[in-house]
Copies of this chain bind each other. A is one copy, B any other.
Amino acid sequence: MTDKNIQLVSTISEDNKLTIALQDTGMKQPGDDQVVIRIEAAPLNPSDLAVMFSVADMTTAKQSGTEQNPIITADVPPKFMSAVKMRVGKATAVGNEGAGTVVAAGSSPAAQALMGKTVAVIGGGTYRQFLCANVQSCLELNEGTSAKEGASSFVNPLTALAMVETMRAEGHTAIIHAAAASSLGQMLNRICIADGVDLINIVRKAEQETLLRDLGAKYVVNSSSDTFRTDLTTAIIETGATIAFDPIGGGQLTSDILNCMEVAAARDMKEHSVYGSDTFKQVYIYGALNRGPITLHRNFGFAWGVNGFLLFNALGKLGTKTVMAMRKRVVDEITTTFASHYTHEVSLAEALHLESLATYSKQATGEKYLITPQR
Flag whether A84 is at the interface (Cβ < 8 A): yes
Evaluate whether A50 and B296 lie within 8 angstroms (CB atoms) in the complex, with A302-B309, A308-B302 already known: no
Beyond A92-B272, A293-B298, A303-B313, 6 additional contacts (C-beta under 8 Å) are A90-B271, A288-B298, A293-B296, A294-B296, A302-B313, A303-B310
Contacts of A291 in B (CB 8 A): 298
Contact in complex: B297, A51 (CB < 8 Å): no
Contact in complex: A293, B297 (CB < 8 Å): yes
CA distance A296 to B295 in the complex (A): 6
Contact in complex: A306, B309 (CB < 8 Å): no
14 pairs from A and B in contact (CB 8 Å cutoff)? A83-B299, A84-B272, A86-B269, A86-B271, A86-B272, A249-B298, A250-B298, A275-B310, A286-B302, A294-B295, A301-B308, A303-B310, A304-B308, A305-B306
Contact in complex: A298, B307 (CB < 8 Å): no
What residue in chain B is nearest A283 (Cβ atoms)?
B306
- Per-residue B-contact encoding for A328-356, CB less than 8 Å = 1, 0 else: 00000000000000000000000000000
CA distance A303 to B307 in the complex (A): 8
Flag whether A47 is at the interface (Cβ < 8 A): yes
- How far in angstroms is the closest Cβ of chain B from A342? 23
Flag whether A274 is at the interface (Cβ < 8 A): yes
Contacts of A269 in B (CB 8 A): 86
Evaluate whether A296 and B296 lie within 8 angstroms (CB atoms) in the complex, with A54-B274, A306-B306, A307-B304 already known: yes
Chain A interface residues toward B at CB < 8 A: 47, 50-51, 54, 83-87, 90, 92, 249-250, 255, 269, 271-272, 274-275, 278, 280, 285-286, 288, 291, 293-299, 301-310, 313
Copies of this chain, tallied across the complex = 2
Contacts of A296 in B (CB 8 A): 293-296
Residue picked from A47, A50, A298, A302, most chain B C-beta under 10 Å: A302
Contacts of A302 in B (CB 8 A): 285-286, 308-310, 313
- How far in angstroms is the closest Cβ of chain B from A340? 21
Contacts of A307 in B (CB 8 A): 304-306
CA distance A50 to B293 in the complex (A): 29
CA distance A151 to B50 in the complex (A): 55
- How far in angstroms is the closest Cβ of chain B from A18? 13
Q: Which 9 A-B pairs have the closest CB atoms?
A: A302-B308, A86-B272, A302-B310, A294-B296, A87-B272, A50-B274, A305-B307, A304-B308, A306-B306
- How far in angstroms is the closest Cβ of chain B from A94? 11
CA distance A313 to B255 in the complex (A): 21
